[in-house]
Structure 1
Amino acid sequence: METKQSPLPQKSNSFSSSSREEKLRESDRNLSLGAIKFEDRYEKKEGDDSKEDCIEEEREEEDKEQEEEETSKENVEESERSFISFSDEIDRFVGVLASLQDVQAQGYELPELPESTIEKFVDALEKEIATYESGERKWSPDHDEISLLDAFKRVNKLTSALTPLSSEPRYNHAMNRTGGVLHRAMAFLEDEFFSLLDENSRGKQQDLGSTSTKTKRPPSFSRPQQQQQHEQDRCILPSAESSTNEEYPQTYPPNVVERLRGIAAVMIPAGYVTECCEVFSVARRNAFFAGLSSLGCEKISIDDVQRMAWDSLEGEIATWIKAFRHSITVSFPSERELFDIVFSGHGDIANSLFNNLALGAIFQLLNFAEAVSMTKRSTEKLFKMLDIYETLRDLTPAIHAIFSVEGNEEESTASPVRDLKSEISAIQSRLGEAAIAIFCDLESSIKTDTGKTPVPGGAVHPLTRYVMNYLKYACEYTNTLEQVFKDYQRTERPSSYDDDGDDAPPGSTSNRENQSSSSTATDPKPFADQLTELMELLHSNLEAKSKLYKDQALCNIFLMNSGRYIMKKIKGAAGINELLGEAWRRKRSSELRQYHKNYQRETWSKVLACFRDEGLNVRGNVSKPVLKERFKSFNAMIDEIRKTQSSWVVSDEQMQSELRVSISAVVVPAYRSFLGRFSQYLHPGRQTEKYIKFGADDLENYIDELFDGNPSSMARRRT
């Protein structure tokens, strides 16, 4: 028996064919219209400017980008709707498991597993992670990251709740699925954590390196000016009051810091604290040392420091001081703030990570200071060693504050922190002892400078210039040197002296140790005493050098030059002036006046003797032979003085003027009076020209040309 199939209902052929024909005709019309429009556009494009083409293309690109953005947004919203739709049921299930931890012991049955919901939730989460891992979409603040982080937290809670129930077969599959996606989520967060840290750090270091400027090394014996903090390094956004201040650029923008905090808040409870901390520590350590490098501070071994030429090492020290101050006062406080925010709620982790970074960095920086303290000692190194000493001394309170945690006294007294404080103290001690040794070596240098060649023209001896310039700059460190001598003078003695203390200068350690303890205890300013002894030693050395001159007048000129130079330097340096005291200055001023008198007596007393009346009158008449002899002697003396003293040097213009004025005031009036009284006894003509070679004004002009170190000037004047 045949089974008949019900025929499908069919429309009439006429309707069907007419309908198709109508559609075809309409399609042809549309195609024709489209072709006409295309031709019109084509012809129009050929005649119009290319600007309209660009505008049309830009519009198409904008429409395409907007469409892609809307599609991406729809995908994100769809994923979020998936997370939200499953979250309530999963949260209820986790809550039940948490409240029934001892349910088996009390005879209750475990709740039914929402396996379908968990499977869908895990699938949606894996799909979302895959879109970021493939690079299809970038995980950025433009998307709702909180939803994804909440989903990661939820899968962690679900995995943790299922783990104690691993003995139940019905939970095994769900536990494996949630554990797998949790591991994948943490690996994804670890990569994002590293990317956020690395990308922002590299961008900041490039900016810092491009804006850093090199400073010129200060000249020898000049104290460097205080380094101004042009570079600021803020790791996080400061308070709202200062957030607009351009003086504090941020290493990480506020939204990045918040993302870092959010990631850490998910990874740590999930048991991935090691991975999170390791990534953060490595990234911040690299960023910190990259910052030091951008400031010009590179790691240098102790051996390299020992072999380095002083000119190069001096520049490295200046760079180190700048970098060390920047690290302690700017970088570490900013790092401390960053660690506390990223690991908020986990204070122990933040403290541990920050202390590891700070201690390692400071110890590495201190290696350079220790290496400098171990270099071979020389006088030119004193000031840079004192600079390092002052840097450590001034920043020690700030270093202690870095490791002081409010409410946690044990942290600031932990063994590594105690070791750091001991290391800083030890380096300061070595620097202080080196400074004392160098200063005492200066005393030894003065004492052993026994050259037998006098300085031409009685000019200021190079030793005088060197010592006074050295002391001028040393006294800019008066407070530091007072502290150093108080703390370390008993533990250091110059290596240049014998062990038994023989031939030690007056201010050396061996002599001071021989003094009574009561005298030392009552001495409030050991450096001032050391300075006074050094000045006495210099004075004795100069007096010994003055005896190298056979001409006693030149001997006094030499002492006047050196004495005036010393007084001028002391007057221009408030530090030395105050340390030496008024009594010392009065004594030296009195000596200078005596040198002046001695010079005039040695040179001009014989000249003035020619103008005496004694011996000229014989039985009431002027003896012409004696008068002629007086003029001849006077002329010979003036010629000799002009010949010798015109090459003598008085470098201080004021003292030079004082000398000339004082000589003229005594000699010229006496000569003018002598001429007035006795020139008439010589016959005019040949006798006058033969015996009276100089007029009073000529003599005054000749005196005004003394002490300029140019003997040829008078010779030209005479001709």
Structure 2
Amino acid sequence: MENNLPEKSSTFNKRDVHIDDINSETSLPVEESTKFAAEEKPTATETDIKEEKPVEDDQEYQKNAEIETIETEDAPPPLEIQYTVETALEDVDRFLTTLCAPNGEDEESSLNIPEFAEKCLDLVEETIVKHESGEFKAKWGQLAEDDIAFFDTVDRISKLNISISKIKSHQNHSLLINRICGIQQRAMSFLEDEFRILLEEPRSVESEQSSGDTKAKQEQPGQTENYNSPSYTPDILSSLNRIAKEMIAGGFESECCQVYTMARRNAFDEQLSRLGFEKTSIDDMQKMQWEALEREIPKWIKTFKECTILFSSELKLAEEIFTDSPSISSSLFINLTRGLVIQFLNFAEAVAMTKRSAEKLFKYLDMYETLRDSLPALDTLFPQELANQLRTEMTTTRCRVGEAAICIFCDLENSIKSDTGKTPVPGGTVHPLTRYTVNYLKYACEYKDTLEMVFKEHSKIERADSTSRTCTDYDESYNRETGVEESQSPFSSQLMRMMDLLDANLAAKSKLYRDISLTCIFMMNNGRYMLQKVKGSAEIHSMVGDIWCRKKSSELRNFHKNYQRETWTKLLGCLSHEGLTSNGKVMKPVLKERFKSFNVKFDEIHKTQSTWVVSDEQLQSELRVSIQAVMIPAYRSFLARFSQVLDPGRQTEKYIKFQPEDIENYIEELFDGNATSMARRRV
């Protein structure tokens, strides 16, 4: 039995045993208790055993004694406490508390590092090795207890390193401090890797669904903000938050911020690429053809709008990860997003710097609206000072885009003035300049609110320039001439000026026609086209107003009257009764000449004006009806009164070539652009 008793543990040290724990087990002093634990038990004789136990219990007693001997051999001494990470951290906490206690300078200078430190570092290092193994890495964020324990371990090591470094005699413990630094560096490197992995592999509740469902969601309109936003589970957010906290507390703020910035910037770049927007330098954009650049503008608009949504969620993410460091979260968010905002502004400025042309106006206005509408959202995300700076930069870029739009209007105005072509359009139809200008202005008025803002901003710039004529000066002179209300906006003034320039240009072009009747048709065609476009669009109608419409309608009526007078009034002279009778008798030779003259003139009018074009069906119908209303009754009355004067038969057929119904049919063939021979029709 003596050989089976346990020997004294070689690893046992009484400093490993807490005094309170020992006192709670025995009332003996520490030295006596340790001595008692280490002494061998006396061997009992058979006689003693028989005296203490009955004979029938001897076998059972022997069995119990053997079991007790085996347990004693395997177990550590009864009073020895196993040293674990938890107890080591408790010792670190007590030591840190001692350092934080108010001590004199001499005490602090002579303070010694406790002997438990080496053992503690051994256990901490073992813990780090375990977490560096694949087991913990693969399950990070799922083993909450192990994660918390590891964080606690890293936290103590960081505090221990900082505290010992503050001791004035820390040079005496350089080897220990170097080891602590090495262990901390190793732990922080592990946390840095985990921080990067968790940031680069976001997981959300939606991500647990099948990839097919996720793709379908992404393709649905209005769902872009769901997959654009950085989305992490609460567990991963908690882990990211704790890692960031430990790295910052341990003095590894720079490494933590660098990993975060790189991961989130890569995420943004991936998102931009998914939206189809590619980074392009200003120099490269200047070399691009407009067709290629035009395809990039809708992508820019979509991406910029998406980014204003993304910025909000990005700020929330930074605040959740760096909860205890609001200044860091704000700085990271600013550094990440400000660069993207500047990148988008550079794109807009590069577009505004391209060579101006009329077709670019509407793209400019789309970009202008995007910059204008995105500003309030960005204002709420950035700190006041940066928000003011970005507001200034965005306003500057928006003004440059607006100035490009103003320049396009100036170019269009100049093009109207300079269109002095000497070739009249065939058939007096609507001139291409009219179609282009009116439709251009009509579509521009769909952006009337935006253009009002653009022109108002531009008028402020003009007022600041004493050498420029301001829009206000023009407004006053224009209102005195037209009677339009004094509150007319700069854009309304610009629009009316261009309409007036178009009218003047058309009046000049109408003089290219030698036939006055065709001049009237040309002016009616173009005036009617302008009026119908204005009446058909609420936007442009609200800009030019009812006064302009009434004025244009009055002009059209005058041109109509002039046309009737120049063409059909002269023809009606052939049907006049004046000069046909003498002494109450009809002079047959004069009557024959009247019929002959009417036939020739009507045939010439039909031949000529059937090639003229009146494209507006309503105007065409109005012209034909008005002509018939004048000609048919007059011709029918003249024919009924004088046709019997002619001899029946051959003489009648020679001079009376048209019946009233023929006249009506021939009038219906006018203004359709197709010349038709009357002789061929009659055959």
**TM tier, shorter chain?**
0.7 to 0.9
Matched, 1:114 2:112: no
Q: Is the 8 A contact 2:534 2:541 kept in 1?
A: yes
Q: Which moved more, 1:467-476 or 1:573-582?
A: 573-582
Matched, 1:473 2:443: yes
State how 1:468-617 maps to structure 2 within 5 Å.
468-489=438-459, 491=461, 510=469, 525-617=489-581
Match of 2:133, SS state, is helix
Match of 1:454, SS state, is coil
Q: Is the 8 A contact 1:194 1:280 kept in 2?
A: yes
TM-score by structure 1 length? Answer: 0.75
Q: Is the 8 A contact 2:241 2:320 kept in 1?
A: yes
Match of 1:232, SS state, is helix
Q: Matched residues in 1 for 2:641 and 2:257: separation? A: 107
Q: 1:150 aligns with which of 132, 152, 155?
A: 152
Q: Matched residues in 1 for 2:345 and 2:377: separation? A: 15
Q: Which residue of 1 aligns with 2:405?
A: 435
Q: Which residue of 2 aligns with 1:327?
A: 307
State how 1:693-704 maps to structure 2 within 5 Å.
693-704=657-668
Q: Percent identity?
A: 49
Q: Matched residues in 1 for 2:476 and 2:304: separation? A: 39
Matched, 1:92 2:62: no
State how 1:105-504 maps to structure 2 within 5 Å.
105=107, 112-115=114-117, 117-132=119-134, 138-144=138-144, 145-165=147-167, 167=169, 174-200=176-202, 230-232=223-225, 250-328=230-308, 330-404=309-383, 412-413=384-385, 418-489=388-459, 491=461
TM-align CA RMSD: 3.4
Match of 2:243, SS state, is helix
Q: 1:653 aligns with which of 602, 610, 617?
A: 617
Q: Is the 8 A contact 1:457 1:649 kept in 2?
A: yes
Q: Is the 8 A contact 1:437 1:492 kept in 2?
A: no
Matched, 1:684 2:648: yes
Q: Matched residues in 1 for 2:212 and 2:254: separation? A: 31
Q: How many residues align structurally? A: 589
Deviation of 1:162 (Å)? 3.2
- Which structure 2 residue ranges, 5 or more long, are not aligned? 1-82, 480-485
Q: Deviations over 1:237-294 (max 9, x none)?
A: xxxxxxxxxxxx6543333322211210111101100000001011111211221221
Cα distance change on mapping 1:177 and 1:139 into 2, 3 Å: farther
Deviation of 1:148 (Å)? 2.0
Match of 2:323, SS state, is coil
Deviation of 1:682 (Å)? 2.1
Q: Is the 8 A contact 1:663 1:703 kept in 2?
A: yes
Q: Matched residues in 2 for 1:94 and 1:375: separation? A: 67
- Which structure 1 residue ranges, 5 or more long, are not aligned? 1-80, 216-227, 236-248, 405-411, 494-499, 502-508
Q: Matched residues in 2 for 1:281 and 1:454: separation? A: 66
Q: Matched residues in 2 for 1:213 and 1:110: separation? A: 63
Cα distance change on mapping 1:116 and 1:440 into 2, 3 Å: closer
TM-score by structure 2 length? Answer: 0.79
Q: Matched residues in 1 for 2:407 and 2:239: separation? A: 55
Q: Matched residues in 2 for 1:229 and 1:413: separation? A: 33
Q: Which residue of 2 aligns with 1:53?
A: none
Q: Is the 8 A contact 2:131 2:137 kept in 1?
A: no
Deviation of 1:90 (Å)? 3.5
Cα distance change on mapping 1:211 and 1:431 into 2, 3 Å: farther
Q: Matched residues in 1 for 2:283 and 2:571: separation? A: 68
Match of 2:362, SS state, is helix
Q: Is the 8 A contact 2:111 2:169 kept in 1?
A: no
Matched, 1:630 2:594: yes
Q: Matched residues in 1 for 2:556 and 2:181: separation? A: 95
Deviation of 1:166 (Å)? 7.7
Deviation of 1:715 (Å)? 6.8
Q: Is the 8 A contact 1:122 1:177 kept in 2?
A: no
Q: Matched residues in 2 for 1:515 and 1:130: separation? A: 77
Q: Is the 8 A contact 1:433 1:491 kept in 2?
A: no
Q: Is the 8 A contact 2:462 2:469 kept in 1?
A: no
Q: Is the 8 A contact 1:570 1:576 kept in 2?
A: yes
Cα distance change on mapping 1:491 and 1:283 into 2, 3 Å: same
Q: Matched residues in 2 for 1:510 and 1:208: separation? A: 61
Q: Matched residues in 2 for 1:613 and 1:693: separation? A: 19
Q: Is the 8 A contact 2:241 2:321 kept in 1?
A: yes
Q: Is the 8 A contact 1:324 1:365 kept in 2?
A: yes
Tell me the amino acid that sits aligned with residue 547 of structure 1: K
**Structure index of larger Rg:** 2
